[in-house]
Amino acid sequence: MLYYNNSVEEKYPDVIKYFQSGINNPDKNISHCLLFWGPDITSQCEIALEVARLLNCEKEGEKHCECLNCKWIKEQTHPAVKIYTRLDFKEAGENSDDEKTTGKKNIDKSQAKAIINELGISSDYHRVYIFCDRDEDGNLLPLNKVNFPEVTSNALLKTFEEPPQNTTFIFLTNDKTDIISTVVSRAQAFFIPAKIKEDFSYELVENCIKNYWQTNRNDVLEFENNIMELINSNNPKIIFTQIQNYMSAILKSNFNNKVLYYRIMRDLKYVEEAKRQVSLTPAMNTQTVVENLCFKMIL
Ligand SMILES: [Zn+2]
């Protein structure tokens, strides 16, 4: 299964720009432990592979670069860029109580040991280990406390904290609470929204949400009423999606403004949560969802 996607930069321009500017910075100021969370694991993996490519490219990291590292990563044959799942490790475990590979339930301690041994040998490349799960057909699945259990995480904790140089770990999951907190606290977390397939328009919401971060806390009720009006005359999910589209557009043109960037990244997550709440069966009361959202968005 190939997961590299040439158009990941178009799908997630804000996230990719963040990594491009971090990696091109002389101090390479991105964390060596990254956690991507959200509903779409395949997109997370595409982003992870793009980060791996940017870290390893021998040239400037341009999209169509054909240097050997970029070529290997696009073909997923790079010796130092690996997708680790419970199924992608076929060597026999050293402990008799380890699960057999067939029906193997989790990334186990023998995998952890193998990773530690491997990292003990120096590498000419920037190593990127992407941790997630997959099924037998290669469909990517999120990490959770079953497939990435505490015993494995603990065996690797010191490595995550102080990896050898030029090593990056990336964890893919649906929710931060699905990974043990000692790993989460060592990682820089990024919420990755589902790929918005409809379109990138936001004309329905633009009047109402324009420069919302400048809205005064005293005006939150008016802000809420305006959104509620939109929701009452449209499908709530479309309104939430358009709000996210607007936020993505703002991120795209403001990725150098760190304060605004983090604010909007955070708000994108709140909107995703609201979208989920109105899709539940039974759905949460829409008014309550909108009220909670507005009070979180307007400080
Ligand atoms: Zn390259």
pLDDT tens, 253-265? 887 888 999 999 9
Residue 77 within a domain: yes
Tell me: do 280 and 215 sit in the same domain: yes
Please, which residues bridge with residue 173 across strands?
A: 37, 143
- Cβ atoms of 231 and 286 closer than 8 Å: yes
Tell me: do 146 and 281 sit in the same domain: no
What was the pLDDT predicted at 99?
Answer: 46
Residue 183 has pLDDT above 80, yes or no: yes
CATH code of residue 33: 3.40.50.300
Determine the structural domain holding residue 146 and report its residue range.
8-191
Confidence of residue 98 (pLDDT cuts 50, 70, 90): very low
Radius of gyration of the chain (CA): 21
Identify whether 142 is preceded by a cis peptide bond (ω within 30 of 0): no
Helix (H, G, I), strand (E, B) or coil at 41: helix
Residue 196 within a domain: no
Q: Which residues contact 182 (CB under 8 A, 6 or more apart)?
A: 153, 154, 157
Residue 95 has pLDDT above 70, yes or no: no
Is residue 258 within a helix (H) or strand (E), and if so which, with residue range? helix 258-279
Q: 74 CA to middle of ligand 1, Å?
A: 10
Q: 35 CA to middle of ligand 1, Å?
A: 24
What was the pLDDT predicted at 196?
Answer: 54
Tell me: do 146 and 56 sit in the same domain: yes
Nearest to 277 by CA among 223, 231, 215: 231
The residue that leads in pLDDT, 284 or 290, is: 290
Q: Which residues contact 103 (CB under 8 A, 6 or more apart)?
A: none
The reported pTM is 0.66
Q: 101 CA to middle of ligand 1, Å?
A: 35
Q: 163 CA to middle of ligand 1, Å?
A: 24
Kindly tell me the sign of the dihedral angle through the C-alpha atoms of 195, 4, 250, 178.
Answer: positive
Burial 85-94 (b: 16+ CB within 10 A, else e): bbbebeeebe
